[in-house]
Amino acid sequence: MTLLEAISAAGGTQTSPSIITTQDLADLRHSFLMRQGKVIPVDFVRLLEEGDMSQNVYLKSDDFVFLPSSLSQQIYVLGAVSNPRSVPYTSHLTLVSAMANVNGYITNAYLSHVAILRGSLNKPYIVVVDYKAILSGNAVDVPLEPGDIIYVPLTPYRFLSDYANLIVTTFVNAWSADMGVRLIEGSSANIGIAVPVSQGSPSVTK
């Protein structure tokens, strides 16, 4: 079974009910395919919006496919913070206010290399800022956009590509763990859909 076949079997992605537009309601930039704890490089925008069939990979047993809603305007704050979680996006939200929403950073956090990851998970754009300088008034606070991923490290990173890969992996694992907890606790009756693939069932979550 291919990725497109699995998404189709799960009912496809939701679209806007407007008679004027059929806008896709899935946040394809933050959609991902996870296999045995690792992110499989798939560009959901190219696959579902541009019809690039090179992104239509074959699935394996226990694969986890996640397509979040684009209606959920969130900022994600991860890493060495007191309460890593998603933060609702509001107008004029900045890095400082987002950090305040997660009760700040923990001891030994490396504040000079705080990252803001923007764009798709497949090809993200990363900016590293000096949060310590912002707090001391020596640098300007950074305005945020919906979907931004904020990551506070414990150590500095020399290569931006390695840093970006770490953040994407952390984001994917955090979402997957959260979905697993919600399934076990039964806190939501509509977490996702299991689509049979040969001898196993990949989970397609929307």
pLDDT digits (tens, 9 = 90+) for 96-112: 999 999 999 999 999 99
Torsion angle, CA of 200/201/202/203, rounded to 10 degrees? -150
Q: Give residue-wise pLDDT tens across range 63-84.
A: 888 888 777 788 999 999 999 9
Q: Give residue-wise pLDDT tens across range 23-37.
A: 457 888 888 898 888
Locate tokens 């305005």: which residue? 143
pTM of the model: 0.74
The sheet carrying 85-88 orders its strands as 85-88, 74-79, 149-152, 114-119, 124-129
Same domain? For 42 and 88 the reply is no
Same domain? For 100 and 150 the reply is yes
Listed ranges 7-21, 59-73, 161-175; the one with the highest mean pLDDT: 161-175
Residue 201 predicted with pLDDT over 60? no
Same domain? For 107 and 168 the reply is yes
Listed ranges 26-35, 162-171, 196-205; the one with the highest mean pLDDT: 162-171
Please give the residue range of the domain that contains residue 105: 74-179
For residue 172, the domain's CATH number is 3.10.560.10
Task: Estimate to the nearest angstrom the gap between the alpha carbon of 88 and the chain centroid.
Answer: 14
Residue 163, in any domain of the structure: yes
* Per-residue pLDDT, 155: 92
